[in-house]
């Protein structure tokens, strides 16, 4: 069984000591590929210096909506410069809207989200979308653009929202919260997402699955989400691994970066 963690924050301060051991432990637990998602200037700088180019570690860059109040125009220029200088960056993000945490103004978040979409279109890359209690505005902004290549990461919305995103061409990714006892609606949504459009992730170091809840999440724990998804969709674990890995390869264009 080979798994693909489509969203991990490997350059988060939680992994500051021993990132190589985190990657090694993931490999021992059947995680073959990981996307290191850098979502502020500091993590981008660290990521490009430390894990960019490592075997089977992919890189995505963006500015998280929680920091929208702090964003300057120079930061957008910096993203563009990185995209020009590092050709193996595979996605833009994470970006999107977060109305759950009251840390950044909604209008500034919307402006930042639009700038990320424009970068994704310019560089022909998929976009990784963060959505917390902002379904309507996420869809409203997406509809203003011809973007259809991307993923709704760490899905937490309704089945209706999932279906609308699928109709737009997006993938849907599920994280450790799929395993939580209070997530029956999330499991129902996962059951209905087609096998060719579903992904899995850890969002580590956050959202550790129920079996290891309370610990620092890490890519080696992806198996718990994979097993729960297999149970929900009434598939065996190998089928889930195959579907989600192939979907991730297609989304991130893995064959184009020297697989």
| Domains in the chain: boundaries | 3-257
Q: Which residues contact 214 (CB under 8 A, 6 or more apart)?
A: 208
Cβ atoms of residues 193 and 162 within 8 Å: yes
When pLDDT is averaged across residues 4-13 and rounded to a whole number, the result is: 96
pLDDT value at 104 more than 90: no
Q: What is the pTM of this model?
A: 0.96
With bands split at pLDDT 50, 70 and 90, how would you rate the model's confidence at 258?
very low
pLDDT higher for 87 or 69? 87
- CATH number, domain 3-257: 3.20.20.140
With bands split at pLDDT 50, 70 and 90, how would you rate the model's confidence at 17?
confident
With bands split at pLDDT 50, 70 and 90, how would you rate the model's confidence at 70?
confident
Residues of the chain above pLDDT 70, percent: 98
pLDDT value at 67 more than 80: yes
- The mean pLDDT of the chain is 94
Query: In which order are the strands placed within the sheet that holds 171-174?
Result: 3-8, 31-38, 57-61, 89-98, 127-132, 150-152, 171-174, 198-200
Q: What is the pLDDT of residue 163?
A: 96
pLDDT digits 0-9 by tens, 140-181: 999 999 899 999 999 998 899 999 999 999 999 999 999 999
């Amino acid at each position: 069984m080979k798994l693909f963690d489509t969203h991990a924050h490997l350059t988060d301060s939680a992994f500051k000591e021993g990132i190589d051991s985190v990657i090694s432990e993931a490999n021992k637990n059947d995680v073959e590929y990981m996307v290191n998602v850098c979502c502020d200037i500091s993590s981008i700088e660290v990521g490009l210096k430390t894990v960019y180019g490592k075997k089977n570690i992919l890189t995505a860059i963006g500015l998280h909506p929680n920091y929208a109040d702090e964003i300057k125009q120079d930061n957008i220029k910096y993203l563009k410069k990185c995209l020009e200088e590092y050709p193996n960056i595979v996605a833009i993000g994470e970006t999107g809207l977060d109305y759950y945490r009251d840390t950044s103004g909604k209008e500034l978040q919307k402006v930042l989200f639009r700038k990320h979409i424009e970068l994704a279109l310019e560089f022909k890359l998929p976009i990784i979308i963060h959505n917390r209690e902002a379904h309507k505005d996420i869809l409203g902004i997406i509809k203003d653009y011809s973007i259809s290549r991307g993923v709704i990461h760490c899905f937490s919305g309704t089945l209706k929202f999932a279906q609308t995103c699928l109709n737009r061409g997006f993938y849907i990714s599920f994280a450790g919260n799929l395993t939580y006892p209070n997530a029956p609606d999330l499991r129902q949504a996962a059951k209905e997402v087609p096998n060719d459009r579903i992904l899995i992730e850890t969002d580590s170091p956050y959202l550790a699955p129920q079996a290891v809840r309370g610990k620092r999440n890490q890519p080696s724990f992806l198996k718990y989400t994979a097993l729960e998804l297999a149970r929900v969709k009434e598939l065996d674990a190998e089928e889930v691994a195959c579907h989600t890995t192939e979907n991730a390869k297609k989304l991130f264009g893995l064959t184009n970066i020297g697989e």
